């Protein structure tokens, strides 16, 4: 994974969007969602809190989008991010991932 600069907690707001994501078919949906968050955050420590798999093998999340769901105001500098996977315009998977920022 290409390492980006560590994103700063102070620069992140609720509802901020994150677009993109890897379309590497070799990775599972959970791995793709975590990688999207890791690349955005510039950190390797993203962990999935909840993952809803695609309802069937025919529905493979092709397009990933995410938004900041929560900012944790304790000393952890963590944010929780909701990642949504769509196939042909329909939501087919979702994940909630937490990552610590700088």
Mean pLDDT (the chain, rounded): 84
Domain interval for residue 66: 9-100
Q: What does the block give as tokens for 92? A: 């087919």
Give the pLDDT score at 1. 47
Does residue 1 fall inside a structural domain? no
The number of domains in the chain is: 1
Does residue 95 fall inside a structural domain? yes
Encode pLDDT of 34-45 as tens digits.
Answer: 889 999 999 888
Give the pLDDT score at 55. 62
Q: Please list the alpha-helical segments (H only) found in the chain.
A: 29-41
pTM recorded for the entire structure: 0.84
Residue with tokens 């938004």: 67
Encode pLDDT of 9-37 as tens digits.
Answer: 999 999 999 977 656 767 888 888 888 99
Give the pLDDT score at 31. 86
Does residue 2 fall inside a structural domain? no
Q: d(Cα 3, Cα 48) in Å, to the nearest integer?
A: 20
Does residue 94 fall inside a structural domain? yes
Cα–Cα distances in Å, from 53 out to 30, 63, 78, 86, 94? 8, 14, 24, 12, 7
């Amino acid at each position: 994974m290409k390492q980006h600069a560590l994103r700063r907690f102070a620069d992140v707001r609720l509802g901020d969007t994150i677009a993109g994501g890897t379309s590497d078919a070799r990775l599972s949906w959970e791995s793709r969602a975590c990688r999207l968050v890791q690349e955005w955050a510039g950190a390797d420590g993203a962990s999935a809190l909840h993952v809803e798999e695609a309802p069937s093998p025919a529905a493979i999340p092709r397009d990933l989008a995410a938004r900041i769901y929560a900012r944790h105001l304790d000393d952890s500098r963590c944010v929780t991010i909701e990642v949504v996977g769509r196939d042909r315009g329909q939501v087919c998977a979702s994940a909630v991932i937490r990552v610590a920022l700088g």
